[in-house]
């Protein structure tokens, strides 16, 4: 249990049996009436974001979320197999939990796996990863001045938008949160 005065970003709360992560919070002390805490909460499993207001000093139930460094090993059918970097214990995680992270994961890549009572909740990748472009149409000579974009397929099979000068087999940096192209890597 914690008080609403102890809230911080990233803290996971257990409200009515559902897990919610604190995205942002604000202590408000109006000139008239009691103080309160305005929060923005994100549902850990569905990703839905809601606004919730608590009275200041109210007790809230915190969830015990264990974040461990794991290595993505391989895909087993639809599921993803991860290995704990310390204990070498393997964990099979469903595509629903992995979510969009699957678009940017290569075998033997490190990730943080968050679990609650042994149940995987979500995967955290580094904010950017370096991946190779496996296929993209060649850019036309006259197109370079417009600064436009074209679709390109990454080695994971995911498609992103890249500048026209990018060619096949080019390594690029990609933002794992948005899927945006960040630049070329030599």
Q: What is the DSSP letter of 77?
A: T
184 by Cβ neighbours in 10 Å (0-12 / 13-18 / 19+) ranks as middle
**CA atoms of 103 and 84, how far apart (whole Å):** 21
pTM (predicted TM-score): 0.68
Domains of the chain and CATH, by start = 2-60 (2.30.30.30), 66-124 (2.40.50.140), 128-185 (2.40.50.140)
Are 163 and 138 contacting, i.e. CB atoms less than 8 angstroms apart?
no
Task: Summarize pLDDT for 12-45 with one digit per residue, the tens.
Answer: 899 988 888 888 999 999 988 899 999 999 888 7
22-29: Cβ within 8 A, 24+ apart: 23/49, 27/56, 29/56
Task: Summarize pLDDT for 129-161 with one digit per residue, the tens.
Answer: 999 999 988 876 555 555 678 889 999 999 999
Average pLDDT of the chain is 87
What is the number of other CB atoms lying within 10 angstroms of the CB of residue 34?
Answer: 9
**CA atoms of 158 and 153, how far apart (whole Å):** 6
H or E element: which one contains 181? strand 181-185
């Amino acid at each position: 249990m914690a008080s609403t005065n102890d809230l911080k970003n990233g803290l996971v709360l257990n409200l009515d049996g559902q897990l919610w992560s604190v995205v942002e919070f604000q202590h408000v002390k109006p000139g008239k009436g009691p103080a309160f805490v305005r929060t923005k909460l994100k549902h850990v499993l569905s990703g839905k974001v809601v606004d919730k207001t608590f009275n200041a000093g109210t007790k809230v139930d915190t969830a015990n979320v264990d974040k461990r460094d794991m290595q993505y090993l391989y895909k087993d059918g639809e599921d993803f197999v991860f290995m704990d970097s310390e204990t070498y214990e393997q964990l099979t995680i469903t595509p629903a939990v992995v979510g969009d992270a699957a678009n940017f994961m290569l075998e033997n890549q490190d990730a943080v796996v968050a679990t609650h009572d042994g149940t995987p909740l979500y995967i955290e990748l580094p904010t950017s990863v370096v991946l190779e472009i496996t296929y993209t149409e060649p850019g036309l000579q006259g197109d370079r001045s417009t600064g436009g974009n074209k679709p390109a397929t990454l080695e994971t099979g995911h498609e992103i938008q890249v500048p026209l000068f990018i060619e096949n087999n080019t390594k690029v940096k990609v933002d794992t949160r948005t899927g945006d192209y960040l630049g070329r890597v030599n």
